Structure formats: C-alpha cells, structure tokens
Amino acid sequence: MQRSGLTLLLIGLLGLALGGCMQATLAPSTDASLTPRDRQLLAHPPYAQVNIPESYRRHIVDYSRREAPGTILVDTDARYLYYVLPQGKAIRYGVAVGEEAMAFSGVAAVGRMAEWPDWIPTPEIQARLGPYPARVPGGPANPLGARALYLYEGNKDTLYRIHGTNQPEYIGQAISSGCIRMTNEDVIDLFDRVRPGATVVVLAPGRRAWMGPIAGPRS
C-alpha cells in the first residue's frame, strides 16, 4: 500500500510538472483597436454572434519554440495561430484552417496588409463554390472580414491569406479553401501588432507545435 501510494504521488507530481510547461492566461477582449469604421461595420454584423469555446479564445501563453518575436506561427492541426512576443511568450488565437490538401504550409512573409479588403474569388473557387461576383466589396458580409494579411513567397503572392470571417462559428475547424480565418475582433488585434515583411510559419498537418500540455487559464 505504501509503494502504491508513493507511485500515485509521483505520478501526480509529474502531471503537475508537465502541466506547468505551458501556462495560458485568457487575454480580455478589448475594442481599443477598433477604428470608427470598425465600430460602425461591426455594430450589426449580418451573421450570427457565436460563443467561441474558451480554448479558441485569445490567450497569452508560454512559448518555447525558437521563432523570433514578431513571427506568426500557425499550428494547423491544433487550429491555433501564435504571434510571438519577447521573453518566451506568445498570443495564441483560435483559427479555422484549410481543408486537407487545400491548405498552405511552409514559410512565407506578410507581403501586403489591408483593412476591410475587397474579395476577388479565384477561378478555382468560382468553379468549385461559385458563382460569385468578380469582386465582392469589403464589409462585414465579405468572406475576408475586417482585415487581411497577404502571404508572399519572395515577390510572389501565394494567394493564401490570414483574414477575418463572416462565419465565426467555424473557428477551430478545417473548413476553408486554404486560407487561415480568425474572428474579426482577433484579426484586428493581430493586424495592429504585425509589421509588413513579418515571417509566417505554417506547419503542415501532422507537425504539431509541441510546447507541453496546456494548463487551465490562470485567474
């Protein structure tokens, strides 16, 4: 009995040690980044408001990988986007990612940034999901949402984006045509932090950004 008790104690201590590998603190949502136009367009959005699960809401977390501050890393499998901060921290956002075989993976750079961008459906999207107008003007009904970060490889547009959404209910799923979707509030927050030219690392499916078990949010 004594040996069993000691074993259980050691297992419990090991669990606590592993749980401490990655602490997550819920980052309160704020509208401080919203412009007057944002407030106007998001006041009565033409989509249902949803309660994003807490695990996919914005958190400040420990970050043990080697990417430099200012880097964006997307963990495709976990449906998380990390914006790397100094001193071993990152902001973690829940995202929707591309369906299998349609998602971008690799290293790119933020080649362009736009607020409330127009959407120009590609011929592939027109053939698969259309018909759509040749150009959809920016606004809360636009699939690109409030902000878009355009991913480039060198001087070439990859046609993949990190952008807002008019379907926030899909955050945490693999549903898009390859782009990385965020809630409009989160993409506005990210947009204000990112600088043009920032490195974007998108992990392919099966390559998790392992940083230890996630402990529950700290109060």
Tell me which residues are annotated as active site: 163, 179
∠ CA 36-94-122, nearest 5°, is 75
Tell me which residue of 9, 25, 106 sits closest to 59, measured CA to CA.
25
Asked if 59 contacts 92 with a C-beta cutoff of 8 angstroms, the reply is: yes
Measured distance CA(63)–CA(185) in Å, rounded: 23
Q: Output the CA–CA distances (angstroms, integers) from residue 49 to 26, 28, 161, in the order listed.
A: 20, 18, 23
